[in-house]
Chain A
Amino acid sequence: MSKEPVAVVGIGQTKHVAARRDVSIAGLVREAARRALDDAELTWADVDAVVIGKAPDFFEGVMMPELYLADALGAAGKPMLRVHTAGSVGGSTALVAANLVAARVHGTVLTLAFEKQSESNAMWGLSLPIPFQQPLLAGAGGFFAPHVRAYMRRSGAPDTVGALVAYKDRRNALKNPYAHLHEHDITLEKVQASPMLWDPIRYSETCPSSDGACAMVLTGRAGAARAPRPPAWVLGGAMRSEPTLFAGKDFVSPRAGRDCAADVYRQAGIADPRRDIDAVEMYVPFSWYEPMWLENLGFAEPGEGWKLTESGVTELDGDLPVNMSGGVLSTNPIGASGMIRFAEAALQVRGQAGEHQVAGARRVLGHAYGGGSQFFSVWLVGSERPGS
């Protein structure tokens, strides 16, 4: 049995902000869903199933909120699935939805991810105790900063690289109307002078805490043929997981991430990602993760990723643009952040990315990770249908 090719025919996001006090959780998700349906010129009745994802339920204080959100998402009478794979969840959710189409279980699926972080304090929600260790962590940055240090030491990267990533992503965000942070007066000097939070990560090299939702409409060949705008085709998608902590774990370049990307490249027939892929939306919550993931995803040799960043390759007008939307560094509703990466990749190959469009983008990678650098989800989307 061959799989049904999967197309993204509708994309919707909310304007991501620190606090959406004007809407309920239901109002927030419905806004994104409605925009995705409008983009696809479809109605609620055209949707066969809903797949929703978000990070921990404690962020909003609602246990399994999809039960309460069934009405807002027009899911009554339909199948509804709720995915939770930590920070990678937005990507995983899209992949679960894509599989429903690929397996021909459903024709058209609405997939959505959200976080309304203003309902709680996400930083402390992320400050998890590690067994048998002193509880010294404050936020995800406390967990990831030592791994950034390990990368710097291993690669010999100059300590200026992180600020370059942040400066680039925050400038890219100015071209994305949905991005949370719009720092019109941003300068490299301001990034470099911002307070140190978790050495070596400075305040301006850290993701914000956002309220936001992102939705996509996925369908097969028949649905794509009826779509009013060019579809983005899923050329490959994969998830990989490994344990949080174990002897021999490589936090700098986790094997689960490498395996995940390799699986996607195999599915899509990508021999050389650096040459064959036009742009990347990757999950960079702290600036240094750009060079780290460039290596992990196979765009640079180990220890060489920072050179792509430093030489401007990952700039919007560079040879391999990374996080054209402004990325997680500019917008971070945690549960939605992975799906925003996947959706932004799709926007690029559809030619719908507006001011942050990469001219002629034909194959773009979407990437998300979560937990203790242990959950990965990746998809590659293209402007041409696979096998066509």
Chain B
Amino acid sequence: MTGQEPPGPRDVAVVAFAQSDHRRTTDELSEVEMLMPVLHEVLRATGLRTADIGFTCSGSSDYLAGRAFSFTMALDGVGAWPPISESHVEMDGAWALYEAWTKLLTGDADTALVYSYGKSSPGPLRDVLTRQLDPYCLAPLWPDSVALAALQAQALVDAGETDEPALAAIAARSRRDATANPHAQLKGPLPHGDYVVRPLRTGDCPPIGDGAAAVILAAGDRARELCERPAWIRGIDHRIEAHALGVRDLTDSPSTRLAAEKAGAFERPVDTAELHAPFTSQEVVLRKALRLGDGVRVNPSGGPLAAHPVMAAGLIRIGEAAALVHRGESDRALAHATSGPCLQQNLVAVLEGEPR
């Protein structure tokens, strides 16, 4: 299949991206019903059908669905007949994209469909996410995701890295930019609100909501056939840190920095960054770790503060960054995804468009 290509790694690009309109609740929709229009849209953008796709990979969580093997039903939305080459990660879709990227690198497939989805609305998300923590020492205390993010925010304030007005400005900028994003859940001028857990106010926290996203990857010339200006993945890497918050410096993100280094992010400046910073304070940490200067546009989509469907929000960052490249609005963009408490695990991708 690849005998004609020169030796060396294959070039892989994001050639299409689609997402749902993210909403606080989608009681009337099953996961499959929420996902299907997004899958249809992303396939339509390339003219591909399910049977044309070489590899499919998805990301989701049984704990959001409240049901074991919840991802098996999503396959109905893909239309996996005849049978498809397929895999699933119990992670944000950004990591599903990473698995698909490695599959394309091996030459076993030329195209990949990546999707992820999450419905946070059926359960109390702050409680649900406590189940991610060390089951012996931490989870029995039920420390919720906002409380842990607040610890991190306070550490940043104490270290002089930020203050509450600066955090409020991040929130305001995100929701202002989100007015141009038809899929965003929270947009426009919003009151910064009361403290949820000090120093974080409602405005510093992501909206809770349901949503889905899908991306198509293609290798080499296939990417050029499917997309006028493919978003080439120049590098992608992910790193995890220790789980216990007590052994980490919460004001920094060495795993993000290392992933960025391995992805080649520091070789040349990026013009745009889509950061998976669910809390305003985490944008401060990521900007530092990624050495983003003031000239870099951060989260022009509004970012996770405008829409945060858990398990899809990271993949959406890659999709949004790629869409900017597709539209010619970025030549070199960085996309970041995170997982775990206080940015425990981080993925960085560098996407580039060819010179215009």
Determine if B126 is an interface residue (Cβ-Cβ < 8 Å): no
Determine if A259 is an interface residue (Cβ-Cβ < 8 Å): yes
A243 touches B107 (CB 8 A): no
Report the separation of the CA atoms of residues A65 and B339 in the bound assembly, to the nearest whole angstrom: 12
Determine if B129 is an interface residue (Cβ-Cβ < 8 Å): yes
Q: A1-B107, A58-B63 are in contact. List 17 more A-B contacts (CB 8 A).
A: A24-B136, A55-B68, A56-B69, A63-B61, A63-B62, A63-B128, A64-B90, A64-B132, A78-B240, A83-B87, A95-B87, A103-B103, A240-B85, A243-B76, A243-B81, A244-B72, A255-B83
With a 10 A CB-CB cut-off, give which of B87, B102, B132, B135 has the most chain A CB atoms: B87
The interface of chain A, by Cβ under 8 A from chain B, is: 1-3, 24-25, 55-65, 67-71, 75-86, 92, 95-96, 99-100, 102-105, 125-126, 128, 238-244, 246, 254-256, 259-260, 263, 371-372, 374-375
A243 touches B99 (CB 8 A): no
B105 touches A103 (CB 8 A): yes
Determine if B185 is an interface residue (Cβ-Cβ < 8 Å): no
A67 CB contact (under 8 Å) in B7, B68, B258, B339: B339
Determine if B98 is an interface residue (Cβ-Cβ < 8 Å): yes
B85 CB contact (under 8 Å) in A1, A24, A238: A238
Q: Which residue on A lies nearest to B6, using beta carbons?
A: A1
Q: How far is the CB of B230 from chain A (nearest CB, A)?
A: 18
Q: Which residue on B lies nearest to A57, using beta carbons?
A: B62
The interface of chain B, by Cβ under 8 A from chain A, is: 2, 5, 7-10, 56, 61-63, 67-69, 71-73, 75-76, 79-91, 95, 98-99, 102-103, 105-108, 128-129, 131-136, 139, 237-244, 254-255, 258, 339-341, 344-345
By a CB distance below 8 angstroms, the chain B residues around A243 are 75-76, 79-81
A84 touches B88 (CB 8 A): yes
Report the separation of the CA atoms of residues A239 and B86 in the bound assembly, to the nearest whole angstrom: 6
By a CB distance below 8 angstroms, the chain B residues around A60 are 135
Q: How far is the CB of B123 from chain A (nearest CB, A)?
A: 11
Report the separation of the CA atoms of residues A71 and B319 in the bound assembly, to the nearest whole angstrom: 31
B86 touches A70 (CB 8 A): no
Q: How far is the CB of B191 from chain A (nearest CB, A)?
A: 32
Q: How far is the CB of A248 from chain B (nearest CB, A)?
A: 9
Q: How far is the CB of B192 from chain A (nearest CB, A)?
A: 30
By a CB distance below 8 angstroms, the chain B residues around A62 are 131-132, 135, 139
A239 touches B85 (CB 8 A): yes
With a 10 A CB-CB cut-off, give which of A80, A125, A243 has the most chain B CB atoms: A243
By a CB distance below 8 angstroms, the chain B residues around A69 are 243
A68 CB contact (under 8 Å) in B7, B79, B133: B133
A67 touches B345 (CB 8 A): yes
Q: How far is the CB of A208 from chain B (nearest CB, A)?
A: 19
By a CB distance below 8 angstroms, the chain B residues around A85 are 86-88
B240 touches A242 (CB 8 A): no
Q: How far is the CB of B59 from chain A (nearest CB, A)?
A: 9
By a CB distance below 8 angstroms, the chain A residues around B345 are 67, 70, 80
